[in-house]
Amino acid sequence: MERKVLPIRDQAQLFDEALRDRLDNLLPQLMERQNISMWIVMNREYNEDPVYLSMVPMMARYARRLSCLIFHRDANGRVERYCLGNDRDFKGMYTVIPWAPPVDRMELLRETIEKLNPENIALDFCADNQFADGLSKGIYDMFAAAMTPEIMAKVISAEHIVTDWLQTRTRQELVRYRAVNRLAQEILEEAFSSRVITPGVTTTADVEWFLMEAVSIQGLECWFTPTVDLQRKFNPSGRIRDEIILPGDILHCDFGLKYLGLCTDTQRIYYVPYPGETEPPEYLQRAYEKTLRFMDIVAENCIAGRKGDEILVNSVQQARDEGLRPHLYTHPIGVHGHAAGPTIGLYYKDGPVGGMGEYPLYPNTCYALELNTKVSIPEWKDEEVWIMREETVCFKHDGELEYLMEDHDVFKLVK
């Protein structure tokens, strides 16, 4: 596969333009929504906070020594942005508060806080949300030792502002996200074609290695190891991996890459035709349509303000009422693959999940719509087939999900 990604300079320009827009226009809205007066993100090189690299220009790449970002919302709702004693090129996105030894950085931070006098101070610690738990114990101890009791009394968890910042996508980012998914789709279409798969010769493992190599050629990485399995008529063992692919097989993949600061996560199925077949058998098409219907049901139940567990319970019950055998395990996606935001079911658990399942749904957030339905196939002596699907989607309006990759409703052939 030829190289299709943008030059690094162009990637950085797109990332940084979107970041400036997020800092200027999105962050003030989110801090107001969560009633945050000051938010401080502190971390060190090789131990970066999960949120840090989403808040600095692309070529910053990592924290430097002790890196400290300060966001202060004033009485007029304007958010001032500072970096404490950091001489890195943040392209004017932050005002540098100069620091030099022998002044202690935490003392300088205390003086800054006292000068700005925030009502509360959000720090990145949280027992239940890993994305908001990036403040190390060592840095917290240094902070606590340098602060006054009055300052420490203002400290709160940054859980909700971290989650909002990571999960919310701007218009610029959604345009970029479509391009990221387009690249993922092009790789999938080549992987599940006759250019890669020769029935009777190619194994599912061969396709897995092709996916990884195709991403590597682009100068990128898969954020998890791709998997390819198959289901076969009159084979009671169910989904099989590391098997030679044969005509009549149903192939299933799970594949995700990261590009331009955003992750994809896609599960699709493909039919391996016998000579002369031009589409999957009608009975498999009908099974496929059951999962498409379940995807629509989940979209219908996505209402702003509903919690993940509520969407889960309502969607599964509606699907069962319609005669489906559903399983729903959808997760947020964006800066991270398994990202911050409301979880809508878990693969290994039936029913409400609590914790991240209690987060509400907000517009302009993205999800890996991950689910399956089980279908008994009379033509296969009533063996069960799993129709497993996962698509990157954006929630913008009640009752709708916008698919970021094309052809999500097409059961394709390997050809």
In order, the DSSP letters of 341-403 are: S--B-BTTB-S---GGGGSBP-SSEEEEEEEEEEEEEGGGTTEEEEEEEEEEEEE-STT--EE
Taking each helix axis from N to C end, the angle separating 105-116 and 137-146, rounded to the nearest 10 degrees, works out to: 60
Taking each helix axis from N to C end, the angle separating 204-217 and 171-191, rounded to the nearest 10 degrees, works out to: 140
Check: CB of residue 308 under 8 Å from CB of residue 342. yes
Quick one: which of 87, 85, 82 has its CA closest to 55?
82
CA atoms within 13 A of residue 288's CA, in its CB half-sphere: 19
Supply the DSSP string of 287-350, one letter for each residue: HHHHHHHHHHHHHHT--TT-BHHHHHHHHHHHHHHTT--EEE-BEE-SSSSS-SS--B-BTTB-
The tokens describing 403, both together, are 């698919």
Question: Tokens 């195709």, residue?
Answer: 214
The tokens describing 190, both together, are 């080549």
Supply the DSSP string of 13-64, one letter for each residue: HHHHHHHHHIIIIIHHHHHHHTT-SEEEEEEETTB--TTGGGSS-GGG-S--
The two counts, helices (H) then strands (E), for the chain are 10, 18
> Phi, psi at residue 395, to the nearest 5°?
-95, 120
Q: How far apart are CA 359 and CA 305, in angstroms?
A: 9
CA atoms within 13 A of residue 273's CA, in its CB half-sphere: 15
The tokens describing 351, both together, are 């029913």
Please return the burial class of 95, using the count of CB atoms within 10 Å of its CB with bins 0-12, 13-18 and 19+. exposed
Residue pLDDT tens, the chain, 415 long: 778 899 999 999 999 999 999 999 999 999 999 999 999 999 999 999 999 999 999 998 888 888 999 999 998 899 999 999 766 678 889 999 888 777 789 999 999 999 999 999 999 999 989 999 999 999 999 999 999 999 999 999 999 999 999 999 999 999 999 999 999 999 999 999 999 999 999 999 999 999 999 999 999 999 999 999 999 998 877 789 999 999 999 999 999 999 999 999 999 999 999 999 999 999 999 999 999 999 999 999 999 999 999 999 999 999 999 999 999 999 999 999 999 999 999 999 889 999 999 999 999 999 999 999 999 999 998 899 999 999 999 999 999 999 999 999 999 999 9
* DSSP 3-state of 178: helix
Q: What is the pLDDT of residue 86?
A: 67
Quick one: which of 411, 396, 194, 203 has its CA closest to 288?
411
Strand order in the sheet with 262-263: 221-222, 257-259, 262-263
Q: What is the pLDDT of residue 87?
A: 62
> Phi, psi at residue 139, to the nearest 5°?
-70, -40
Q: What is the pLDDT of residue 326?
A: 97
- All residues at 6 or more sequence positions from 43 whose CB lies less than 8 Å from its CB, including other chains: 49, 52, 63, 66, 67, 134, 135, 136, 139
| Prior bond of 102 cis (ω within 30°) | yes
Quick one: which of 51, 75, 47, 24 has its CA closest to 158?
51
76, 92, 183 from 52: Cα distances, Å: 26, 17, 26
Q: How far apart are CA 203 and CA 227, in angstroms?
A: 12
* DSSP 3-state of 95: strand
Q: How far apart are CA 62 and CA 157, in angstroms?
A: 23
| Residues forming a β-bridge with 326 | 373
Check: CB of residue 26 under 8 Å from CB of residue 161. no
